[in-house]
């Protein structure tokens, strides 16, 4: 499995919220790390772009990231909420992962045509 289980979603014009469950069987947990599996930051960014492409019908490529903060690890079996905000004019996607009412990670991703 490459994507988490989606348990809910809410879509607006330029914002979206996805409720996700991080199954222990996800590919991304294998070997990262042997002592305590956690979801890699690059996967969190990849998922943000994936779900934004789906939610906002984007046809853009990754250009860069800005102000990315990983404040709390995400572990197998946890439920998370991914919130996305798309700024069409700037080509900028803001994302935030929350777990147990705490921010786990957040940042901005630049997407170009």
pLDDT tens digits, 71-82: 999 999 999 999
Q: How confident is the model at residue 103 (pLDDT cuts 50, 70, 90)?
A: very high
9-65 pLDDT per residue, tens: 999 999 999 999 999 999 999 987 878 999 999 999 999 999 999 999 999 999 999
Output the pTM of the full model: 0.94
Domains and CATH numbers, the chain: 5-76+87-112 (3.10.129.10)
The pLDDT of residue 39 is 96
Q: How confident is the model at residue 102 (pLDDT cuts 50, 70, 90)?
A: very high
Element (H, E) at 52: helix 41-56
The pLDDT of residue 58 is 94
pLDDT at 113 over 90: no
Which residues contact residue 70 at a Cβ distance below 8 angstroms, ignoring those fewer than 6 apart?
41, 44, 104, 105
Beta bridge partners of 81: 19, 98
């Amino acid at each position: 499995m490459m994507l988490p289980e989606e348990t809910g979603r809410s879509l607006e014009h330029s914002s979206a919220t996805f409720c996700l469950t991080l199954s222990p069987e996800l590919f991304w947990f294998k070997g990262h790390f042997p002592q305590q599996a956690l979801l890699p930051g690059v996967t969190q960014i990849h998922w943000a772009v994936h779900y934004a492409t789906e939610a906002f019908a984007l046809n853009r490529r990754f250009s860069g990231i800005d102000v990315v903060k990983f404040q709390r690890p995400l572990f197998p079996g946890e439920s998370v909420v991914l919130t996305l905000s798309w700024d069409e004019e700037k080509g900028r996607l803001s994302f935030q992962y929350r777990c147990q009412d705490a921010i786990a990670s957040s940042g901005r991703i630049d997407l170009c045509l």
